[in-house]
Each structure stands twice: as C-alpha cells, then as structure tokens.
Amino acid sequence: MRQNLVAGNWKMNNNAEQTADLIGDLKSSMEGFEPNCRVMIAPTFVNLAAAAPNTEGTIVEVAAQNMHQAEKGAYTGEISVDMLKSVGIQTVILGHSERRTYFKEDDALLKAKVTTALANGMEVIFCFGELLAERKAGNHFTVVESQLKNVLFDLFSDQWKQIVLAYEPVWAIGTGETASPEQAQEMHSFIRGLVNTKYSETVANELTILYGGSVKPDNAKEIFSKEDVDGGLIGGASLKVADFTAIIQAC
C-alpha cells in the first residue's frame, strides 16, 4: 500500500525560536485529527537537533533539506548522513531545483548523494522537474525521464522502498503558478509508468509520488484527488500553520 505524504520544505526560513514556535503551533492545530497522510517538516540544518525531540511522540516527522555525499572528511561547512542520523533524522530531501540551480548539483552528484543516503538506511525524497523553457518546447517528459534514469534507475527494486519522488516543475515553484491537476496527473502517471517498465508493477504501485509547486489550501484538494498524486512537497504555504494544516486535511 502506498502512503500519502504532505511535507513542508521550510527552505532557509525560521531561526531557532521561530522553528520551535511553528512546531508548537503545528502540534496544536493537528490535535484531534488523524490525517490521511504522513506529515513531515524540513527545517534548516541547525534547527534539526531541536526539532526532532520536539516532535517525538507526534505524527510530525522531521526531514533534512540536503546532505553531503561523503560519509565524513575534510568538507568544510558540510553535513554528513551520520550527523543527521545522530540527531534522529531518517529522511532527506535531495535534488531540489534550488540545489540544482544555485549550487550546481547535477545528476552525477545526486546519484552519489542518493547512494550514500540509502546505504545508511535513510529515506530519500528525490526532487526533479522541468524548466519553463523545457515545457514550452514540449521536452518535459524527456527531461524528467533522464533526471530519473540518470540518478535512480541503477537501484535495486528493494531500494525503492526508501524512495519518495517529488515532481516539482521549476516554473511552478514559488511563482504562484501551479501545474493544473491534469498536468500533474499526466506527469505522475508517466513517471509511474517508467518505474513499472524498468522495475515492476508492485514497485510502481507502492511508490509515493508527490507534487510540488505553489500548492495552497485552495488548490490542494483538486491536485491531491488525482489518482497518481500521493501528496505534496510544500514550500511557502508550509510556513503558515493554518495553510499547512488545511493542505494536510486536503490529502
């Protein structure tokens, strides 16, 4: 059975106090309702060590936004998988378009990061998606296919249990412009089909595929209602408890 998931990517927002406050508000607003999905937040690195115990015993899970591909060593300023695990983090977001664009993370580097994360028992939320120019040129399926093949298609079937996919068309991130529910469904069904062909129907059917890009309370329900959309990776709206809770309720 594949699981729905709504995850909030907080990006470079919220200091320690704001993180504690937002988690406190989220816990209160979640009291008394059992969502139809896993719920996750991804605060910035320095706040993970406090966020993990602060959410213990609740349904809120905590993820990291990134990690380094090496297990350890002379990489000033970087964070290793063991460091994440040592503060109770079991999930990491990799391949976000902001990492690809601003920090030049390419398929080869992402493959190394995914390999290290999986070898250390982490769950990976792997992000990918086409640029506006690529969609306009009609290349979005080809782009997405190569992003997936180059990074994930050497994995063993069993390793897919540790993978969540997040389709985030770059033109929809932080722009207020969302893919239509039909565009999301079309791409998600294409992605599931690729995994089915390369692996098996079981692997494809059990795979959670999130949509990300300007998901808000007023469009979440329609997007999540699509057959192959199993929840969302939420940026801006995850920073406001009322909006994030409404999106969780829409799942």
- Residues at the interface with ligand 13P (CB under 6 A): 9, 96, 168, 173-174, 212-215, 233-237
Q: Which is nearer to ligand 13P, 170 or 204 (CB)?
A: 170
* CA 144/CA 206 separation, integer angstroms: 20
Closest distance between ligand 13P and the C-beta of residue 130, in Å? 14
Closest distance between ligand 13P and the C-beta of residue 214, in Å? 4
Q: Which is nearer to ligand 13P, 152 or 173 (CB)?
A: 173
Token match 């080809």: residue? 142
5-9 and 60-64 strand pairing: unpaired
Q: Are 102 and 57 in contact (CB under 8 A)?
A: no
130 tagged catalytic: no
Catalytic residue among 68, 96, 140, 188: 96
Closest distance between ligand 13P and the C-beta of residue 174, in Å? 4
Token match 């406050």: residue? 21
Instruction: Take residue 190 and report the two structure tokens written for it.
Output: 């294409």
Q: Which is nearer to ligand 13P, 151 or 204 (CB)?
A: 151
96 tagged catalytic: yes
Q: Are 5 and 210 in contact (CB under 8 A)?
A: yes
Catalytic residue among 61, 98, 105, 168: 168
Q: Would you give the DSSP letter of residue 156?
A: -
- Name the residue number minimizing CB distance to ligand 13P: 235
Q: Which is nearer to ligand 13P, 30 or 173 (CB)?
A: 173
- Main-chain phi, psi angles of 178, to 5 degrees: -105, 150
Nearest to 147 by CA among 172, 126, 174, 116: 126
Q: Which is nearer to ligand 13P, 212 or 231 (CB)?
A: 212
- Main-chain phi, psi angles of 189, to 5 degrees: -70, -35
Q: What is the amino acid identity at position 55?
A: T
Closest distance between ligand 13P and the C-beta of residue 116, in Å? 21
Q: What is the amino acid identity at position 30?
A: M
* CA 54/CA 113 separation, integer angstroms: 27
Closest distance between ligand 13P and the C-beta of residue 102, in Å? 12
Number of H helices, E strands in the chain: 11, 8
List residues with catalytic annotation: 96, 168
